[in-house]
Amino acid sequence: MTETEEWFNVPGDFVSTLFDLSGRVAVVTGGGSGLGAACSIGFAQAGAEVVVADINMAGATETADIIADQGGTAHARTVDVTDKAAVEGLADWVVEELGSVDILLASAGKAYRSSVEDFPEEEFDSVIELNLKGVYLCGQAFGRKMLAQGKGSIINMASIGGFIAYPWASAYLASKGGVVQITRAMALEWRDRGVRVNAIGPTLIDSPLTRAVRVNSGSTVTSDFIEGRMLRHRLGLPQELIGAAIFLASDASDIVTGHTVMCDDGYVAV
């Protein structure tokens, strides 16, 4: 094959390793339950060594134990992603103990349901701090490590709420819109330095978080609004995000950065 034909060079084993995460270290915040737990297990099944980080150590340990039972390698660590020193300490530990950090999935988050006129200020601050500041601090701390390595993939957990609106979720919508823009900002600054930054935009997912929010708010106004507009009128499942997460973490997305991959069953498109 001549040099001018190099664009057509697809080796026979090209696809067999495209989604392989063997030899890579993945950190998942919010890995103790829901979407983070599912993606942690998925990363491990794809060959990664996984650091399951959560403010709830019991949940992180449970996820790590599932990975170990399946033959994978995982470490449970506690972290408050809104605490800059704690996040930087986790990033230092990962690189010092495991040698590198190749993948970060920032999925720690929360929601609170209330009308705009009655939304408590302290709850607004809490949602923004965890969902937006937490993503920023994690991207900043682990991004520095990846920049020093010259490579890495950061995946932020966004939402359909970063693109459209629904009732009783004003703080959540604001936080996820911010996640979309933070993702773009990081990707733009780091695109020529080996670090890719993308996001996943899920539909309403059946998870401990969404179940608890519905119960605690005493209202189904948000979920009823979203479910009534779903094409198949069913909630998504945490494991249905694993494919997108592995795609963004792997060489399969080598030229993808600054994007939010929607896993919304077409919700935003129609």
Active site residues: 172
Q: How many CA atoms lie within 13 A of 62 on its CB side?
A: 13
Secondary structure class of 170 (helix, strand, coil): helix
Helix locations, 18-83, DSSP H: 34-45, 57-69
* Whole-Å CA distances, 141 to 62, 94, 256: 25, 11, 21
Q: How long is the chain? A: 270
Q: What gap in Å lies between CA 94 and CA 82, rounded to an integer? A: 18
Q: How far is CA 266 from CA 60, 119, 148, 202, in A?
A: 32, 30, 38, 10
SS3 content of the chain, % helix, strand, coil (to 5): 50, 15, 35
Cα–Cα distance measured from residue 86 to residue 105, given in angstroms and rounded to the nearest whole number: 17
Residues paired with 67 in a beta bridge: none
Best CA proximity match to 197, nearest among 207, 205, 186: 186
- In the chain, the N- to C-terminal Cα span, in Å, equals 45
CA distance 229 to 255: 33
Residue 70's φ and ψ, nearest 5 degrees, are -90, 0
